[in-house]
A and B are shown apart, each in its own frame.
Chain A
């Protein structure tokens, strides 16, 4: 039985299509990384899994139950760390965990949960005084109550320092070892890369690729990054290139055009640019790293971040080469 199944799910907010005909399956027992830049539709998808938001069309089942008719009982088997949540300012951390224990009819020891998420010291302080990272830990603690079969974590490392993010990933691994399925979203490649069995990349409401980290790595090995210095180019000029087979992404920053493509497509890219009337002044080629693959799939909007704290954001179109 799959833990999560979305079939041709579309969600429209007014004129905006946040999620477009999304098909996605998460198998029981796996750690699935749901990767994509901010605004790609990750939270909308997760909100639909939780029945916070109803899909415009399509069907969603979680743990084998259709979410629109499952009711609150389904959530006894799910632990959730939602995005954009807030705590109850006047209640202590301990009260929050106790509330989750009572709500799920579980028999967890609040003390043990609080220690596990690193809030043992702060347990008796009102949560209103907690930092963003501590609030995140508290919500993770609430999610862990009752040994859920499925953990749904929306951007769990938000507000955590690198050490905290690592602790969070350790907990994710422990939960997976216990037999839980973990579905977590992130806009940061490094968070997902280190822990996930499988990764889906969402961009503008569509799943653009889905593979294991190894599979993605293999794909990136066959890819090259072409860095071209040109006289002048707009983003629209790159559309013919994007349409070429073998090109996974293209971006422009001033006079610098970066194209991710299969190594065999390089000449075709260059000639297509020439046909578009763009003068090429310099050509550089680099093999593609996993980071660049991610960036290319998201038209340069993703964030890649490693545990050493280095960050490359969308604004940096010119990759420095694989690290």
Chain B
């Protein structure tokens, strides 16, 4: 399992980076701040579900987390190619596929660690105070955010493997962020309208198109899943089928994005 060796090395390298330590601290700080702002008046308690449902947390997990994932991962391959450490790595019995998937795994693990610490530390602190911890939902929410960052890491590493230079890797990462996070609606809505006006014989309902576009974007797919989780309908209720599709789509991203990057990377001279 050569990719696991690469993943472990990448994880050990990444957790020693000041960037990641800083980000972990930032997460702990922001989650604590949001929790502190949601604290009720003396004598009352507030549940963690209410805190997580607030706009600040969804901004943090839906907007900031993908950005951080792209920043951490965009130079995973191009950076090593530029510095030359990739030569050291490929001098050892690792294939280029081991390198790409090992990096997805290692960096996802490192960033997920930051996310998990970022959510769990404040929860533990405030649990001694007026915060009622709904542990299953809280852990589930944290894991969904970890999955989201992993998908964005996979996309960024795939792009990094395919990009011919570090500058293009960075530009692509920024482009992907704007595509999936702030600008998605500008693309989704016209696309939905265009597809909605297809002739009758195309067996696609407007709802199917809307759902497909919803789960296609990892950020909105995870948003849908966390929404269902917080309303107690995770993998159940009306949207159960859509949720399963969303999870499947996230897994497809996790594998397909690095795979496409690898196909390009395979053919390239170092």
Chain A interfacial positions (CB closer than 8 Å to B): 47, 50, 52-54, 71-76, 78, 80-88, 90-91, 95, 99-100, 102-104, 139, 142-143
Contact = CB atoms under 8 A, between A and B. Distances in A.
Given A53-B269, A84-B87, A90 B92 contact: no
Interface in B70-105: 83-85, 87-88, 90-95, 98
A281 to B, nearest CB: 50
A90 B8 CA distance: 14
B16 A91 contact: yes
Interface in B209-247: none
A75 B84 contact: no
Contacts of B267: 54
Contacts of A54: 267, 269
29 contacts: A52-B270, A71-B95, A74-B93, A75-B94, A76-B93, A78-B91, A82-B87, A82-B91, A85-B87, A86-B84, A87-B85, A87-B88, A88-B13, A90-B13, A90-B16, A91-B12, A91-B13, A91-B16, A95-B9, A95-B12, A99-B92, A102-B5, A103-B6, A103-B93, A104-B92, A139-B88, A142-B88, A142-B92, A143-B91
B205 interface: no
B73 to A, nearest CB: 16
Contacts of B16: 90-91
Given A53-B269, A99-B9, A103-B5, A86 B95 contact: no
A85 B90 CA distance: 11
Contacts, number: 78
Contacts of B8: 102
Contacts of A100: 92
A82 to B, nearest CB: 4
Interface string B2-17: 1001101100110011
A218 to B, nearest CB: 37
B94 to A, nearest CB: 6
A50 B90 contact: yes
Given A86-B84, A95-B12, 13 more contacts: A52-B87, A71-B95, A75-B94, A81-B91, A85-B91, A86-B88, A88-B9, A88-B13, A91-B9, A102-B8, A103-B2, A103-B6, A142-B92
Contacts of B92: 75, 99-100, 103-104, 142
A85 B87 CA distance: 6
A84 B122 CA distance: 45
Interface residues of B, number: 24
B5 A72 contact: no
A75 B13 contact: no
Contacts of B269: 47, 52-54
Nearest 3 interchain pairs by C-beta: A80-B91, A103-B92, A90-B16
A237 to B, nearest CB: 39
Contacts of B270: 47, 52-53
A53 B269 CA distance: 4
Contacts of A95: 9, 12
A245 B211 CA distance: 79
Contacts of A74: 93
A72 B2 contact: yes
Interface in B241-270: 267, 269-270
Nearest to B10: A88
Contacts of A143: 91
B93 A85 contact: no
A207 to B, nearest CB: 22
Interface string B181-204: 000000000000000000000000
A247 to B, nearest CB: 37
A231 B9 CA distance: 64
Nearest to B17: A90
A86 B85 contact: yes
A85 B88 contact: yes
B186 to A, nearest CB: 40
B145 to A, nearest CB: 26
A179 to B, nearest CB: 20
A104 B90 CA distance: 12
A75 B91 contact: yes
Identify which of A74, A75, A78, A142 gathers the most chain B CB atoms within 10 Å of its CB: A75
B87 A73 contact: no
Contacts of A71: 95
Nearest to A145: B92
B149 to A, nearest CB: 21
Nearest to A81: B91
A13 to B, nearest CB: 8
A128 to B, nearest CB: 10
Nearest to A50: B91
B84 A85 contact: yes
B5 A86 contact: no
Interface in B1-36: 2, 5-6, 8-9, 12-13, 16-17
A142 B91 contact: yes
Contact of B95 (A72, A88, A104): A72
